[in-house]
Amino acid sequence: MSDNKMQAVILTEDGVTLAEVDRPEVKPTQVLVKVASCSVNRSDLLTTQGKNYGHVGGAAKVMGAACCGEVVEVGSEVSGVSRGDRVMAVGAAGWAEYALADYRRTLPVPDGMDLILGGSYSSAFLTMHDAIVTNGEFKPGQSILIQGASTGVGIMGMQMGKHLGANLVIGTSTNAERRARLSEFGADLALDSSDPNWVDQVLDATDGKGVDLAIDQISGSIFNQTMSATKIHGRIINVGRLGGEKAEFDFNMLAERRLTYIGTTGRTRSLEEHAEVFRSAKADLWGAMEAGVFRMPIDSTFDISEAAAALERAAANKHFGCIMLTVNA
């Protein structure tokens, strides 16, 4: 293979496949990362189902976003990142031997952390800081509900809530085996959101008031129940739609409980907005990351040539923690 070519996972009409593509060229504010690992996220799965997530959607596009590896080239306007640095990066086209990222969308891999584990953190850490701290305005002593808590993002959310001083962390999972593990990662109470009595259990645990903050990764048919489980003047931050993108919405309940409901995504943000997400998350909680406060279980690892199998694992929705691809192993 020539120096200007590389292996990458691309999306075709028949699914994903490993193919030879052009190695990307660095622009002034970008770094080129020799990729060691990539996380398999819900957005990746939805991309294969015809959703266009930024510029990674559509046929013949390189898959993936979050990756981790070593910087091998830096643009002329890059500051604070150098060749040889180990970084977590978020951008696009991450499922490849080499990937580009704006330097403002990178985080340093903590000393002693291997690059496989490093690849599991960035999306979850940034998503949950943006949801809990920035949009959720979470305060010490408040209670927090994490819907879909057995995902990598959910596991990060429970730990972040506990670290920030939550007096009660509630996590949900519809699978008994995964639900039993939530207490390992910060849950004081683990509930089954398919149980018709789960809202009553939340109310029992909060003196009948409901939680101060709900982080919703489920949406769909249980969203009205999530509103019932959130206190008057509480906040609900939507970061995912694992249970469906459309459902009946009880506007009356929203009004009566005087809830603040905010939807978040990275797909419609400008580069400057993304840079601020990274800056604020790093300023607030990177010390805790470096100290090992946050743990991430790796559910399974696949070689980049096995990307289709990794996506099948994600689609089965039986994983606990992160599904990872390894590259340049």
pLDDT in tens, 191-202: 999 999 999 999
Q: Is the pLDDT of residue 55 over 70?
A: no
Q: Is the pLDDT of residue 54 over 50?
A: no
Amino acid at 58: G
90 and 199 both lie in a single domain: no
Q: Tens digit of pLDDT for each residue in 254-301?
A: 999 999 999 998 878 888 999 999 999 999 999 999 999 999 999 999
Q: Is the pLDDT of residue 156 over 70?
A: yes
Cα dist from 276 to 117, 193, 269, 273, 326, whole Å: 24, 34, 10, 5, 29
β-strands 86-90, 66-74 pairing: antiparallel
112 and 133 both lie in a single domain: no
Closest listed residue to residue 75, CA positions, set 104, 95, 54? 104
Residues 242 and 172: their CA atoms lie apart, in Å, by 13
266, 92 Cβ separation under 8 angstroms: no
Indicate left, alpha or beta for 107 from its phi (over 0: left) and psi (-120 to 50: alpha): beta
Domain membership of residue 280 (yes or no) is: no
The domain of 9 spans: 5-121+296-326
Residue, of 57 and 218, whose pLDDT is higher: 218
Structure tokens at 34: 């020799």
Q: What is the pTM of this model?
A: 0.93
Closest listed residue to residue 95, CA positions, set 304, 316, 319? 304
Q: Is the pLDDT of residue 108 over 80?
A: yes
Give the number of other Cβ atoms within 10 Å of residue 36's Cβ: 21
pLDDT at 60: 62
Give the number of other Cβ atoms within 10 Å of residue 8's Cβ: 28
Question: In which band, very low, low, confident or very high, does the pLDDT at 52 lie, cut at 50, 70 and 90?
Answer: low
> Which of 246, 263, 280 is the endpoint of a domain?
263
Domain membership of residue 278 (yes or no) is: no
96 and 38 both lie in a single domain: yes
pLDDT at 51: 67
Closest listed residue to residue 274, CA positions, set 175, 139, 129? 129
Q: Is the pLDDT of residue 82 over 80?
A: yes
The mean predicted confidence, pLDDT, of the chain is 93
212-246 b/e (C-beta count within 10 Å ≥ 16 → b): bbbbbbbbeebbebbbbbbbeebbbbbbbbbbeee
212 and 177 both lie in a single domain: yes
Amino acid at 106: T
Q: Is the pLDDT of residue 121 over 60?
A: yes
Which CATH number belongs to the domain containing residue 256 in this structure?
Answer: 3.40.50.720
Q: Is the pLDDT of residue 27 over 70?
A: yes
Domain count, the chain: 2
